Amino acid sequence: MTEWFQGTLGYGFGWFAATLILILMIALPLMLAVAMIIYADRKIWAAMALRRGPNVVGPFGLLQSFADGLKVFLKETVIPSAANRGLFLLAPIITFTLALIGWAVIPFGPGMVLANINVGLLYILAVSSLSVYGVIIAGWASASKYPFYSALRAAAQMVSYEVSVGFVLIGVILWAGTFNLSGIIEAQRSHVWIINGFGFNPLLFPMSIIFFISALAETARAPFDLTEAESELVAGFQTEYSSMSFALFWLGEYGNVLLMCGLNAVLFWGGWLPPIDWAPLYAVPGIIWFFAKILIFFFIFSWVKATVPRFRYDQLMRLGWKIFLPISLLWVFLVSGYLLLTKEQCPADRRVLAAVTNEQQADRYMPSCRSGMLNLGRGAAGAIS
């Protein structure tokens, strides 16, 4: 599509138009999906509590989210007089925008990705670490004590879990050898015998669990929803918000949840690959597999929300710093040690080395490559001597 637009509208403008259309193609269905996922969340939660859940608006209550959206849209936006106006209105916008832009690098199917950048995973990490600003700014700008407590909690919680998420991701990156999300998915093809997915690897399975729990903490979902713990903080950082500014927080929160579900699927369970590397399964389009995996993870998110009681704040900190951090650090050693023993000795491509050093110095810089795994255009005998 980009080529077609560039052919008709010229290079720069064509690229711009095509990208804009692609962004809309992701963002609009995402908004619809968020509306339906809020409904699904409420239904799953209700079913687990032996209730009916929303069942009045539309068939089976399917239109409930849209009715809620309309209601919220028609309400008056109340800005507290003590609040810092600009920042107060900026906070929900930041949350909502950051929930959307993470999707730019998620591959929905083979080649179906908006920005196929080679630092995709770092981009996701950057976006998810930024999303805490929405909460902090909202809490501070409200000029009210409960939102402020919530902002402090959010800041500490996010920083604690980011560290272990980073270490978990290092394991995945080491195994895949790339930061590109499509590359990570491709690396999972037939990872364990004929099964696709890093999660089926016994060495990486514990990491997938830690990542899932950290994803719950990152998105501030139950049991880690201390930023909006209603028994202590009214509604946390959302206390002073009303109307669309409140709705943007909700949309952003669920957009983040879906993003984290998608990330779980991409990093550990093969993304758009079918679970088993068997030809007939590829007849189903990759995007269907990907959506199915997202939905499975979303179900688990709701399941956890319905069954696990909320953590106390010190327990949350203990879990992050005293349990996840040492385990994931240990696992970085285990995974890199295992790969050092089994994978080829010099993962660096020889053109990489040639680009940054010259041939004569190469074996001085990379002693482990001297034994001929990497011969920079010389004979193997020359490399050994």
Partner 1 sequence: MIPTFAFYLFATIVVASGVMTIASRNPVHSVLWLILAFFNSAGLMLIVGAEFIAMLLVIVYVGAVAVLFLFVVMMLDVDFAALRAGFARYLPFGTLLALVLLTEIVFAVAAWNASGVATAAKAAPVNQNVPNIEALGTVLYTRYLYIFEGAGLVLLVAMIGAIVLTHRTRRDVRPQNVSLQNQRRPKDAVRMVDQPVGEGVKL
Enumerate residues 173-232 that contact partner 1 by CB under 8 A. 179
What are the DSSP calls for 60-102, one per residue?
GGTTHHHHHHHHHHHSPPP--TTS-HHHHHHHHHHHHHHHHHG
Q: Which of 38, 44, 125, 251 binds partner 1 (CB under 8 A)?
A: 125
Query: Applying CB under 8 A, does 117 fall inside the site for partner 1?
Result: yes
C-alpha Rg value of the chain to the nearest Å: 24
Query: Applying CB under 8 A, does 76 fall inside the site for partner 1?
Result: no
Stretch binding partner 1 (CB under 8 A), from 64-72, 118-126, 194-202, 209-217: 118-126
DSSP 347: -
Query: Applying CB under 8 A, does 310 fall inside the site for partner 1?
Result: no
Q: Which of 31, 62, 63, 155 binds partner 1 (CB under 8 A)?
A: 155
Stretch binding partner 1 (CB under 8 A), from 127-135, 237-245, 274-282, 376-384: 127-135
- Rounded to the nearest angstrom, the gap between the alpha carbon of residue 212 and the centroid of all alpha carbons in its chain is 10
Output the smallest distance, CB 133 to partner 1, in A: 7
Size of the site for partner 1 (CB under 8 A): 40
Enumerate residues 337-356 that contact partner 1 by CB under 8 A. 348-349, 351-356
**Rounded to the nearest 5 degrees, what angle is found at the Cα of 293, between the Cα atoms of 110 and 203?**
90
**Rounded to the nearest 5 degrees, what angle is found at the Cα of 198, between the Cα atoms of 334 and 353?**
65
Output the smallest distance, CB 274 to partner 1, in A: 29
Query: Applying CB under 8 A, does 112 fall inside the site for partner 1?
Result: no
Q: Which of 27, 152, 287, 306 binds partner 1 (CB under 8 A)?
A: 152
- Rounded to the nearest angstrom, the gap between the alpha carbon of residue 51 and the centroid of all alpha carbons in its chain is 31
Stretch binding partner 1 (CB under 8 A), from 41-49, 158-166, 213-221, 254-262: 158-166
DSSP 30: H
Stretch binding partner 1 (CB under 8 A), from 45-53, 126-134, 253-261, 270-278: 126-134
Burial of 163 by CB count in 10 Å (0-12 exposed, 13-18 middle, 19+ buried)?
A: middle
The identity of residue 122, as a single letter, is: L
In three-state secondary structure terms, 377 is coil
What ranges in the chain are assigned the alpha helix state H? 2-9, 11-48, 64-74, 85-101, 120-130, 132-141, 145-176, 181-187, 205-218, 230-233, 243-268, 286-307, 313-318, 325-342, 350-356, 359-365, 380-384
Q: Which of 97, 336, 357, 371 binds partner 1 (CB under 8 A)?
A: 357
Query: Applying CB under 8 A, does 118 fall inside the site for partner 1?
Result: yes
Q: Which of 33, 151, 181, 261 binds partner 1 (CB under 8 A)?
A: 151
Closest CA to 37 of 95, 99, 90: 99
Closest CA to 247 of 30, 80, 142, 96: 96
Phi, psi of 83 (to 5 degrees): -70, 155
Output the smallest distance, CB 126 to partner 1, in A: 4
User: Given the complex with partner 1, which of 80 and 109 has the nearer CB atom?
Assistant: 80
Q: Could you list the residues that contact partner 1 (CB under 8 A)?
A: 12, 15-16, 87, 117-119, 122-123, 125-126, 129-130, 132-133, 136-137, 140, 148, 151-152, 155-156, 158-159, 162, 179, 314, 318, 348-349, 351-357, 365-366
